[in-house]
Structures are given as C-alpha cells and as structure tokens.
Amino acid sequence: MSTATEETALNALRGALGDEWVTEASATDRVGASRPKWVVHADGTERASTALRIAAEHGMSVVPRGGGSKLDRGESPERVDLLLDLSAADEVVEHAAGDLVVRAEAGTPLREVQRTVAEAGQQLSLEDPHPTATLGGVIATRSAGPCRYLHGGVRDLIIGITVVCADGTVASSGGKVVKNVAGYDLGKLFTGSYGTLGVVTEAIFRLHPLAEERRWVAVTLPDPRAAAEAARLFRVSRAMPTAVELDRPAGRAPITVCAELEGRSGVTGERAAELARSLGEELGRTCEVSGTAPEWWGRLPGEPGASAGIRMASRPSELVELLEGAGRVEDETGVALPLRGSAGLGVLDGGVPAGSSDESVAALVEGVRARAAALDGYTTVSWAPESVKRLVDVWGPVPSGALTLMRRTKDQFDPERRLAPGRFVGGL
C-alpha cells in the first residue's frame, strides 16, 4: 500500500470506529515473522464487521487475534496490515443451563466460560492450559484437551457460530443465509481454519454436567509395545474413560499410560479401583489410582523451554509403530523428542528441547513425517522458530483432492486472499 492509501485507510477506520479503537502496532503485536501496521480492537460483531468492511474497501490484509497465545502457529502470513483484536468481545451472552448450552463472544477466555457454567454444575468439555486462550482462538486452532477422547473436539461441541466474512458481511450458521456461504456448516468449517476464512465473533456450545468425582488410573511400562497394549486395554475397558493419555520422556525412558474416569461421587472411585485391579492382572504390573491428575496431564511436552512442537497422529491401533518410529528418528538425528498426548486417539505431541540445530530439527520432522505417512497418519509442526519453518513444510503434504476443496472454500470466503494469507495448508 502506498503511504497515501495507508493514510486514507487509517482515517476511514478511525472515523468509523473511533480513535481509541485503532492503535499503531507495537513490536509485541507480531504474527510469526509478520508485523502488522495497526491493531483494531472490536468489542463485538458490529465493530468487527465495520473494520472488515473498511479493510476490504482499502485492500488491507487482516489477522484476527484472541488471547494471542497461538499466533506463532502455522506459517507466518505473507502480509498483515490489521490485527483485529477480539479480546474486548468477552461476554458470556447466555447460559441456558436447562438446555446445557452456552453462548459467548469469541474473545471470552475459555476459563471465564468454564467459571460461569461451573456455577450451574456444568462444563464445556474443552481444556486449555493457557489462561489467555479465548473461544475464538480455540475454535480457529481446533484445540481440545485430553477429554476430547470421550466428549469429542471443538467440531463435535459447537452448535452455532457467528462470523464476519472478508467483506464485512455477518453470517450465522443456522441463521441468516448469505449468498456465497449458503449450504456450509460454518461451525465445522471454521474449526481449525486459523483465521483464514473469516473472523469468529460468537459461538454456541453444547455443555456436559461437571463430574462429581474424578479418578486417574496410571501404569508405567518399559517399552512402546507394552504401553500400546495398556492403551488398548483402557480403550476397550467397560470403565469408559474420559481420556487415555500417555507421557514418554525422551529416548528409551519408561512410558506412563493414564486414564481419567469421571462420574458420580462414590461410584467413580470403585470403578477406578476395579479398572486398576483388572488391568494390573492383565499387564502383570501395579496400576496406581489417584484423586489428582499427574502433573504432566493436559500440558504440552518439553515446556517451558521447548524450541519446537510437533504433532503426529495415526490410528490408535498403530500407536506402537508411531512410538517406535519416533524412537528410531531420535536415534538417527540425535534430537530428543519427549512425547505426550492422547494414546486413546493416536495423537501425540512432541516437544523439541532448546539447543538443537535447525537442520537437525528439520531432519527430525521429516523423519517422523515419513514414518507417520507410512501409517496413513500425519505430522505437523505446531510451533518452531522461523529459521526451522524455512527448512520444513509446517503442515506437510495433504491429499490433492482435499487441497482442491480447501482452495475452493477459500476462494468463496476470501476471494482476494486478505485474511491471514499464506498461514494455512498449501499456502492458503
């Protein structure tokens, strides 16, 4: 943009929104390697819509921001003129406790939603260790914690959404039909879209009753085969765990597999004791029952201090191959890769310790990716320094049919490629 166009655009934004809602970006307002020019704050759908309409009229690129805890994920956008900050849109609009439904603005911290619904003995079955993570960010990055195993992820829990499209048009799923977005389930589509299709301003979620009692049943095994067998036994047990997670420190260290049980007070403890007894017999090991989660539960491995995060996934039945493959790649590259994640779903996060060279981290990603691909699985780089991102494809290959579909969707929602351009799979 020329300086004169920039000036006109800025005046239009300040005129329509008010000076206090438009500020110059500071060094901390980065999105990966990209630096925006301005930050526009929006306290709801209307202000977000005005901002996007003016941005469209002046050809400005826009990246939405919630709590800012995940802006370095994915590829850095090719350009960012405006950072559209939703943190002032932070109201829990309605909690229909009788219907187990909550409606909240996108900038509401997930923790605030949990606090509100907990007053009625309910929970939104999503977990996030980041105090600043907002509903919008959790939707856009498809984040879910261990209990996704039983309750499903964002896509399964979202029942309504309001978004602002690239031209400022407001659309709601199940509500107003907008010509170019008719026929889409917006809630499902925007889940994991990383701000590239539009800006989420409000969402409606299904809730679950808060458990009266929780128990964790854990067992530590010497190798991937035994750990995968424990995960299988947890999965097929009648105890119906809410989550089945594992923790494997780097190298050949023993692996802890742990299941969480939730339910009515008194009964859950008995279920846990029974599960620990029967599993212990089958595995020939002692299973521990605890009233508190292990300290690693729901936290990414290697943090604080990890220099890169990797996510790998395959079918749960191939967990042993996934774990053994990661171990071999550690040997080949000399890079340690502590692993943690859902043994029940076959999704593991790896945290690369600081101090590894960019080239060796890139080799680690390629090695793990090749092994996951051989299992029909995938590997993505969750976060990494820009110098590593230059050496590897963050998202990895996607089937060409899927990419064609994603391109078509992007063209419909953001034909001018102004929303976080280049951030997503295949340069979308």
Ligand X SMILES: Cc1cc2nc3c(=O)[nH]c(=O)nc-3n(C[C@H](O)[C@H](O)[C@H](O)COP(=O)(O)OP(=O)(O)OC[C@H]3O[C@@H](n4cnc5c(N)ncnc54)[C@H](O)[C@@H]3O)c2cc1C
Under rule CB under 6 A, residue 303 binds ligand X: yes
Under rule CB under 6 A, residue 106 binds ligand X: yes
CA separation for the pair 256, 36 (Å, rounded) = 43
- Of the pair 34, 143, the CB lying nearest ligand X is at 143
Under rule CB under 6 A, residue 300 binds ligand X: yes
Phi, psi of 402, rounded to the nearest 5 degrees:
-65, -40
CA separation for the pair 135, 206 (Å, rounded) = 13
Q: Tell me how many degrees the CA angle 268-270-272 measures, rounded to the nearest 5.
A: 70
Q: Which stretch binds ligand X (CB under 6 A): 18-26, 135-143, 254-262, 369-377?
A: 135-143
**Is residue 365 within 8 Å of 381, Cβ to Cβ?**
yes
- Of the pair 160, 280, the CB lying nearest ligand X is at 160
Shortest distance (Å) from residue 88 CB to ligand X: 12
C-alpha 278, offset from chain centre = 35
- Of the pair 138, 204, the CB lying nearest ligand X is at 138
Under rule CB under 6 A, residue 392 binds ligand X: no
Under rule CB under 6 A, residue 311 binds ligand X: no
- Of the pair 72, 213, the CB lying nearest ligand X is at 72
**Is residue 279 within 8 Å of 233, Cβ to Cβ?**
yes
Quick one: residue 152, left, alpha or beta (phi over 0 = left, psi -120 to 50 = alpha)?
A: left
Under rule CB under 6 A, residue 125 binds ligand X: no
Neighbours of 356 (CB within 10 A): 21
Under rule CB under 6 A, residue 356 binds ligand X: no
Residues 6+ apart with CB under 8 A from 119: none
Choosing from 75, 81, 128, 167, the residue that interacts with ligand X (CB under 6 A) is 128
Under rule CB under 6 A, residue 134 binds ligand X: yes
Q: Which of residues 178-217 bind ligand X (CB under 6 A)?
A: 194-195, 199-200
CA separation for the pair 359, 333 (Å, rounded) = 10
Q: Interface with ligand X by CB under 6 A: which residues?
A: 63-71, 86, 106, 127-130, 132-134, 136-138, 140-141, 143-145, 194-195, 199-200, 298-300, 303, 420
